[in-house]
Amino acid sequence: MMSTSDENIILTCLFTTIKPMNYWLMKTEPDTFSWDDLVKQGSSMWDGVRNYQARNNIRKMKKGDTVFIYHSVNNPGIVGIAEISKEFYADPTAKEGDWSVVDVRPVRKLKRSVSLQEIKQRLDLKEMYLVRSPRLSVQPVTLQEYNKILDMEKQG
């Protein structure tokens, strides 16, 4: 039988080693860089972000965080799930300014694209950044929103 102090030590170890996961959505124009391009490369630096709020979101990303990949422009929607494979570092493509990138690797393509139109029709997703701030290229996603999108993927 364990003592209370032993249980506290175990709980402390568990809570200090379990890292909370964050969820994100990153937009890309498929004519410039698509989900298929990411899969072909196996991993890619996510560069070219030139919006301060999006840059700040990049700087909050941690290795292992989950990312929805969203194709914008034609038939906008979420097409795949990726993972942050390297935390932020200086954007080597930036000619000036304080910009950052992360490295992303593909995890899996969605069984079907979940369109922006479908997302906007859901009352339970009306507070999602994608609905409220559709122009932001890198945005947080809550766990509840993440799970609802996965449920939507299964419907069809």
Give the span between the Cα atoms of 109 and 38, in whole angstroms: 11
Residue 7 domain flag? no
On whether the CB atoms of residues 140 and 127 are closer than 8 A, the answer is no
What single DSSP character describes residue 42?
Answer: S
Give the separation between CA 152 and CA 23, rounded to whole angstroms.
Answer: 17
Position 6 in a domain:
no
**How large is the average pLDDT for residues 45-58?**
97
pLDDT of residue 74: 86
For residue 8, tell me if it sits in a domain: no
Count of the separate structural domains present in the chain: 1
14 assigned to some structural domain:
no
CATH of the domain at 26: 3.10.590.10
83 is a domain residue: yes
Name beta bridge partners: 66: 23, 83
In a domain, 35, yes or no: yes
pLDDT(5) > 80: no
Is the pLDDT score of 10 beyond 70? no
For the segment 63-116, what is each residue's pLDDT rounded down to a tens digit?
999 999 999 988 999 999 999 999 999 999 999 999 999 999 999 999 999 999
Average the pLDDT over 39-53 and give the result. Answer: 97
CB 138 within 8 A of CB 96: no
Range of the domain at 57: 20-154
Q: Distance of alpha carbon 12 from its chain centroid, rounded?
A: 29
